[in-house]
Structure 1
Amino acid sequence: MKPTVRTLLDRDDLALTLRTDEAVLPEGALDAPVPWVHSSDLADPAPFLEPGQVLLTTGTQFGADTEHDDPAGFDAYVARLREAGIAALGFGTEVIRSTPELLVDACARHGLPLIEVPYRVPFIRIARTIADLNAADANARQAWALQAQRAISLAALRPDGLGATLTELSHRLGTWVGLVDAAGALDREAPVGGLGQPALGEVVGEARSMLRRGQRASRTLEAGDSVGRPQRMTLQTLGAGGALRGVLVIGESPELDAAGREVVNAVIALAGLALEQNRDLDRARGHLRSGLLRSMLAGDVELAAGVSAEMWGPLPHDPVRVAVADLPTEHVDRMAEFLELRVDEKDGRLFFGRDGETVVVVAEDADTRVADELAAEFDVPVGVSDAASVTELARLHEQATRALERARETGAGVTWFDDISRQGVLAFLARTDARAVARATLEPLIDYDRENGTGLLETTRTWLEHGGQFDATAQELGVHRHTVRSRIALAEKLLGRDLSGFHARADLWAALLATE
């Protein structure tokens, strides 16, 4: 244990006396670690002091003539020391003079411990005591670190090496330790349930933010526990930048000094190694999943069902839907781990596999939340098929792919094939290649409206929506039917086509859809 002011006061060989009433001192003032002792009789030694030190003085700067003591001078002297952050002031009594009462009063006002050092105790003895105690503490902490690292290394050899390692670390640090996996879920903790809400939610949320950024980082977080008291939590990413495997979270602990950080670094290395080994296994499983997916798309569901039952559990029950999502290149492994976690939660009744630059998910119709979770967690577009039997997987995959193409036009989010199929076949003309042709078709009407400030294009659209009925169009636009007739006639002239026939109207309607 590091020496403190109280440690010095408790030493019989030093015979020090506390002249400041402990009741007027700040809480813990006597228990702060003391790194060193400095002696000086300067009137202003503050520029040469560091926070936490104990300053020793014989009082030469105050003079031996007590009749001319200046209360303001003592007060200013103590104020400078307090501002410099020293832990205590030691006064060597009877070297020049006895301890000045004005100094005792000033230290009481500023909450600075004043220690009286008897004449027979040299300052060097106090300095040597602090140095010896600090050296002993450093040796003890180093021995503690070596013992802790040895115990943690042995824990890593157990069947659940990663879990045992975190449990041992929690025991050694005397605090809660958790591991948030690459999917952003709490994977392990020690002790179980040792961190309550809302602190746990805040920690997991911050860990997810660090994982989304994909960069190696460490962070401290002040998180409130169940009764609202903040706790300092330390978060450290695991894995290489761009391929993070999780986040290690450690609660506040007095053991987290230099020796404690050595132990934590050892755990980070062991956890990173364990997770990297799991990565290789995950990739092998991913290749197997991709092969089974190709088999299912080719119509051989029986083979995939047998292998899946042995590896993860039964395939989803009919009816099923297929979701196809773009793979974020920077989060491929994290998305795979995210989906593996969902498979575990559902005892295998969810299947996924990689197909080129997309991931294909097969889920039961009653449980398709995974599509929304993928879109929200990874900010990617997702297409979802109709519901049907798993034996029709190829058709469902085609539907989901078409829905994904539509989802890509609007950015991240989920698009259901049900929705776009209700729009009809013409809705699929709204692709990039059809849009240019449609724009050229409608350009005469667009240019006319722009040059003349008219609504010819709007009138034409409304007229087509009403099946070419002039009265209904006029009523909706709030104009006379003859006005509608004249506008349509002008549109026919500008477009160079007769709109009385079905084919011309259908072509024009398709052009309008494609430019939406």
Structure 2
Amino acid sequence: MQADDGGWCRNARSGGADARAPACTLCLQFFDTTYSREIAVQPTVQTLLDRPELGLGLLTQAPELPDGALAAPVVWAHSSDLADPTPFLDAGHVLLTTGTQFGDDADAAFAAAYVQRLRATGVAALGFGTEVIREGTPESLVDACAAQGLPLFEVPYRVPFIAIARTVADLIAEDANARQAWALSAQRAISLAALRPDGLSATLAELSHRIGAWVGLIDATGSLDREAPSGGLDQPLLGEVVGEARSMLRRGQRAGRTLLAGESTGAPQRMTLQTLGTGGALRGVIAIGDSPELDQAGREVVTSVIALAGLALEQNRNLDRARGHLRSGLLRGILAGELSLAERVATEMWGPLPAAPVRIAVTDVPIASADRLTELLELRVDERGGRLFFGRDDEQFVLIVEESDAGLADELATEFELPVGISDPVATGGIALAHEQALRALERARESGSGVVPFDEISRQGVLAFLARTDARAVALATLAPLTEHDAAAGTALLATTRTWLEHGGQFDRAARALGVHRHTVRSRIALAERLLGRDLSGFHARADLWAALLAVD
């Protein structure tokens, strides 16, 4: 009998194959006396086969079926005797039929095409109800299901199709209720964990325990801050996760993504990453390993953890801001030479100030990543037990580092693509001078956009070279214009000859060898340059002024 709407009972046989009647007394009695649900579980084909009250008999034996066929989840049970019921079916459905569509001959070709359509739709299993239209299940259907790997079970006459449908519906509902109860229990446990002294670590540990997966927090600096369980993710998986988290942090936008890590090892793991904080002010990334618990209920739990972690990090951010104001005040005192108060406060808060000799490093405040830079520096302070001090001075970060820790400047320049100027090593009393050196070195570093420039790189070039790089370019171009214009008009090399001559101390023989010309050629070119410039280049002051002009236009 056909029952496409699921509301008709095949036990109402009095009218023959085409008879339809509402659910009968047998169905109602079946629901009242035999249907029970003891444990919540996602229904599968095997779940239905294991229900003794249904009495379903598997006709396609397990060895004939693909791996996992009986473990396929069932999302609904639908009954139909249509020759092509697939327009009313979806993946994960169990189709129930009495076989009206097969007729008396049960043609093998029809059965094969029928099963093929069901397989293409993703039907989880086919149930055949006997003793309504025909006795037993057609052998052609059994053979077709076995050949194409579709589970086929026989439904005894005593079991109405609607009972199977209700079994599936109740199992799904109870599983949903069980998952919701699990989610509520997990959220309660996580909320309690958040109240512990180290609430963030306890929260991540509780989440890891509840979903049975590794959980890690990558902080705003791109470093693994904490994880649960400790050491639960080995290299190279951990490296891939941290690397992807750093990329997300550099983009500075709120985002979530799935990463298939460890493909090179042959055992890839699906990792879920989600940023914490607001766009432009990200506080970190939470990473979660693959888990069967990450269904809708599991995602709700993860969402609550993300919210708690974000709140905890935001509270830390407010505390960091307060400490940042304190650092700035102490920095101004240190630069002004008032070391005693700064030493006492810094020792109480972070540890002793760096020991002499020290260097001063100065860099611009990156607008998009100021919080990340602050967190990185706070982390480095913790690692060094206070033997590093930093503070913000208007639009710049100023660092006081020990001589052995000067490499931190390279780390900042590389990680944040910043220009950094760093002073020569000085004693404690020379901090103000070192700050001035670092500022001059920063000016030079800005010219290339990023990278570290030590002050001694400038000092080796001399005072004249430094002065020439300030605001002298326009004056220098005007000074050298007579030579450059003559070279352009006459095809001469007066400017190059003059530069080489000055580089070789005004000695004609050495300059001639360097240029590959006769010394008299050099003499005549310099004489012409003097006439064009209107200067006597035999004196020191004139040569020094011309050399400064050449430096300024380089």
Specify the TM-score bucket, using the shorter chain as the normaliser. over 0.9
Structure 2 length normalisation: TM-score?
0.88
Q: Secondary structure at the match of 1:433?
A: coil
Aligned counterpart for 2:149 among listed residues 90, 104, 111 = 111
Equivalent position amino acid for 2:152 in 1: L
More divergent stretch after superposition (417-426 vs 106-115): 106-115
More divergent stretch after superposition (312-321 vs 25-34): 25-34
Residue 457 of structure 1 and its aligned partner are, at CA, apart by 2.4
Q: Distance in 2 between matches of 1:299 and 1:339?
A: 23
Q: Distance in 2 between matches of 1:158 and 1:354?
A: 33
Residue 19 of structure 1 and its aligned partner are, at CA, apart by 2.6
Aligned counterpart for 1:21 among listed residues 41, 55, 61 = 61
Q: Distance in 2 between matches of 1:120 and 1:84?
A: 29
Q: What residue is the counterpart of 1:82 in the other structure?
A: 119
Are 2:179 and 1:170 equivalent residues in the alignment?
A: no
Q: Which runs of 5+ in 1 are unaligned?
A: none
Q: Distance in 2 between matches of 1:87 and 1:443?
A: 87
Q: Secondary structure at the match of 1:366?
A: helix
Residue 374 of structure 1 and its aligned partner are, at CA, apart by 1.0
Q: What residue is the counterpart of 2:226 in the other structure?
A: 188
Q: Secondary structure at the match of 2:42?
A: coil
Q: What residue is the counterpart of 1:493 in the other structure?
A: 531
* 1:195–1:225 contact (8 Å) kept in structure 2: no
More divergent stretch after superposition (87-96 vs 162-171): 87-96
Are 2:169 and 1:161 equivalent residues in the alignment?
A: no
Residue 227 of structure 1 and its aligned partner are, at CA, apart by 5.6
Equivalent position amino acid for 1:92 in 2: G
Q: Secondary structure at the match of 2:43?
A: coil
Q: Secondary structure at the match of 2:354?
A: coil
Equivalent position amino acid for 1:470 in 2: F
* 1:50–1:84 contact (8 Å) kept in structure 2: yes
Q: Distance in 2 between matches of 1:270 and 1:455?
A: 72
Equivalent position amino acid for 1:302 in 2: S
Aligned counterpart for 2:97 among listed residues 57, 73, 87 = 57
* 2:260–2:271 contact (8 Å) kept in structure 1: yes
Q: Distance in 2 between matches of 1:87 and 1:493?
A: 99
Q: Distance in 1 between matches of 2:115 and 2:488?
A: 82
Aligned counterpart for 2:73 among listed residues 33, 45, 70 = 33
Alpha-carbon RMSD across the aligned residues, in angstroms, is 2.0
Q: Against the structure 1 CA distance between its residues 266 and 490, is the aligned structure 2 distance closer, same or farther, given a 3 Å change threshold?
A: same
Q: Against the structure 1 CA distance between its residues 460 and 80, is the aligned structure 2 distance closer, same or farther, given a 3 Å change threshold?
A: farther
Equivalent position amino acid for 2:129 in 1: G
Q: What residue is the counterpart of 1:368 in the other structure?
A: 406
More divergent stretch after superposition (492-501 vs 369-378): 492-501
Q: Against the structure 1 CA distance between its residues 463 and 46, is the aligned structure 2 distance closer, same or farther, given a 3 Å change threshold?
A: farther
* 1:199–1:226 contact (8 Å) kept in structure 2: no
Q: Secondary structure at the match of 2:291?
A: coil
Q: Secondary structure at the match of 2:472?
A: helix
Q: Against the structure 1 CA distance between its residues 101 and 447, is the aligned structure 2 distance closer, same or farther, given a 3 Å change threshold?
A: farther
Q: Secondary structure at the match of 2:458?
A: helix
Q: What residue is the counterpart of 2:370 in the other structure?
A: 332
Q: Against the structure 1 CA distance between its residues 87 and 467, is the aligned structure 2 distance closer, same or farther, given a 3 Å change threshold?
A: same
More divergent stretch after superposition (202-211 vs 216-225): 216-225
Q: List per-residue Cα deviations over 1:431-486 (Å, max 9, x = no partner).
A: 36222222222233333434444433222221211112222222222222233233
Q: What residue is the counterpart of 2:464 in the other structure?
A: 426
Q: Distance in 1 between matches of 2:513 and 2:61?
A: 93
Q: Which has the larger radius of gyration?
A: 2
Q: Against the structure 1 CA distance between its residues 413 and 23, is the aligned structure 2 distance closer, same or farther, given a 3 Å change threshold?
A: farther
Q: Against the structure 1 CA distance between its residues 139 and 500, is the aligned structure 2 distance closer, same or farther, given a 3 Å change threshold?
A: same
Residue 23 of structure 1 and its aligned partner are, at CA, apart by 2.8
Q: Against the structure 1 CA distance between its residues 464 and 136, is the aligned structure 2 distance closer, same or farther, given a 3 Å change threshold?
A: same
Residue 29 of structure 1 and its aligned partner are, at CA, apart by 2.4
Q: List per-residue Cα deviations over 1:217-264 (Å, max 9, x = no partner).
A: 111111129965111111111112111111111111111111111111
Q: Which runs of 5+ in 2 are unaligned?
A: 1-40
Q: What is the total number of aligned residue pairs between the two structures?
A: 513
Residue 70 of structure 1 and its aligned partner are, at CA, apart by 4.2
* 1:292–1:304 contact (8 Å) kept in structure 2: yes
Q: Against the structure 1 CA distance between its residues 135 and 479, is the aligned structure 2 distance closer, same or farther, given a 3 Å change threshold?
A: same
Are 2:159 and 1:121 equivalent residues in the alignment?
A: yes
Structure 1 length normalisation: TM-score?
0.94
Q: Against the structure 1 CA distance between its residues 46 and 475, is the aligned structure 2 distance closer, same or farther, given a 3 Å change threshold?
A: farther
* 1:165–1:267 contact (8 Å) kept in structure 2: yes
Aligned counterpart for 1:343 among listed residues 381, 389, 392 = 381
Q: What residue is the counterpart of 2:325 in the other structure?
A: 287
